[in-house]
Amino acid sequence: MSTSPSKIELIQPDDWHLHIRDGDVMKDVLADTARQFARAIIMPNLKPPVTTVDLAKAYRARIQLNLKAMGISSFTPLMTLYLTDNTSADEVRKAKSEGITAFKLYPAGATTNSDAGVSDIKHCYGALEAMQAVGMPLLVHGEVTTADIDIFDREAVFIDRVLIPLRKDFPELKIVFEHITTKQAAHYVRDAQDSVNHPNTIAATITPQHLLMNRNAIFAGGIRPHNYCLPVLKREEHRLALLEVATSGNPRFFLGTDSAPHAKGAKETSCGCAGCYSAFNALGLYAEAFESVGKLDRLEGFASFFGPDFYSLPRNSKKITLVKQSQAIPVELPLGDATIVPLRAGETIAWSLA
Ligand code: DOR
Ligand code: ZN
């Protein structure tokens, strides 16, 4: 007899790591997210990247126009700025006073639209000093990018070469280690010490694909471009470590889908883009992961409480219901003039939004 419930009610979740792009594709992806989440941290890796407060405000206005056009009033985008070698301390202070939620560190060359990213973190020490002083969180794409490091080791090496020294130099800076993929990252975040007077200096987001799949999924019966994202899926032992911390009730781990839309043609090509489109039924995917280890009761903390608590934002008050009712995931969805292949396209998912 199954002891799993067939229905769960939870405070509405937020997505603490999301790509919605710009232009005519934005509406399609925003609609999927706004159906499930109350707020989302909007990633700044546009072309060109969102490097200034003025660019972020203009981006936010375009998001709000799209929300309005779709009649959605229940969703709030939380804006981020793209950190560069040249970000000034003044821009950080301006960002704080103008309601920007965080800065994003992309090591140059790490992923989609990261060419303008940081070439050496030492170039950012003035900006980081200001972030620490005003309480502005730094969101980190945690991978080294040097060619000598194997792609499967990039995250673990980043911890030793960049993250540990960074936390030593800025012990009060709030850092989110984004989309963690390894046992090393899970255990680093779990075991890291907070600075004495400043709790909540380190946290991590975890995507649905890294909780549900290991690297075999990229090569199952042939190459599977829609399961390719960065940081790339890892071995099963890493997936299990992520599932363990995500479902442990530890408030340092919370939901961030990293849903990253690329048109079908940009994925199914000789040099396909990195990114999984999980926004279509992200909550169903997370519910499946938590249920797989009998921890559905821990989903609400991970999805709805620990994120706002870390960011010192109020928790949502509205409730949503997930039902155990199998939902077919379409093989393709519209994306502007093109289409997109969602995660688990053509398969079914056990849980969906009531
Ligand atoms: O797979 C990814 N896609 N990882 C990232 O870090 C960026 C994202 C994107 O923007 O497409
Ligand atoms: Zn991302």
Q: Per residue of the chain (354 residues), give pLDDT as tens.
A: 445 789 999 999 999 999 999 999 999 999 999 999 999 999 999 999 999 999 999 999 999 999 999 999 999 999 999 999 999 999 999 999 999 999 999 999 877 777 789 999 999 999 999 999 999 999 999 999 999 999 999 999 999 999 999 999 999 999 999 999 999 999 999 999 988 888 899 999 999 999 999 999 999 999 999 999 999 999 999 999 999 999 999 999 999 999 999 999 999 999 999 999 999 999 999 999 999 999 999 999 999 999 999 999 999 999 999 999 999 999 999 999 999 999 999 999 999 999
Domain that holds residue 180: 15-317
On whether residue 205 sits in a domain, the answer given is: yes
DSSP string, 147-210: TTS-GGGHHHHHIIIIIHHHHHH-TT--EEE-S--SHHHHHHHHHPPPBTTB---EEEEE-HHH
Residues with Cβ within 6 A of ligand 1? Answer: 19, 45, 111-112, 141, 229-230, 260, 274-275
Residue 202: inside a domain: yes
Structure tokens at 7: 């229905």
A 10 A CB-CB count for 279 gives 31
Report the first-to-last Cα separation within the chain, whole angstroms. Answer: 24
Confirm whether 9 is domain-assigned.
no
pTM over 0.95: yes
Atom index in ligand 1 nearest the CA of residue 274 equals 1
In a domain, 195, yes or no: yes
Q: Is residue 353 part of a domain?
A: no
- Contact between 181 and 242 under an 8 Å Cβ cutoff? The reply is yes
Considering the domain boundaries, does residue 312 fall inside one? Answer: yes
* Crossing angle between the packed helical segments 26-36 and 282-292, to the nearest 10 degrees: 50
Centroid of ligand 2 to alpha carbon of 2 (angstroms):
36
Question: How far, in Å, is the centroid of ligand 2 from the Cα of 125?
Answer: 23
Q: How many folded domains does the chain comprise?
A: 1
CATH of the domain at 72: 3.20.20.140
State which of 273, 276, 340, 341 you would mutate to test the pocket of ligand 1, scoring each by most atoms of that ligand within 8 A of its C-beta: 273
Residue 311 belongs to a domain: yes
Give the number of the atom of ligand 1 that is nearest the alpha carbon of residue 113. Answer: 10
Of 230, 234, 341, 343, best ligand 1 pocket probe by most atoms within 8 Å of the beta carbon: 230
> Residue whose CA is closest, atom 2 of ligand 1?
275
Is there a catalytic annotation at residue 258?
yes
Which ligand lies nearest the alpha carbon of 262?
1
Within a domain: residue 179? Answer: yes
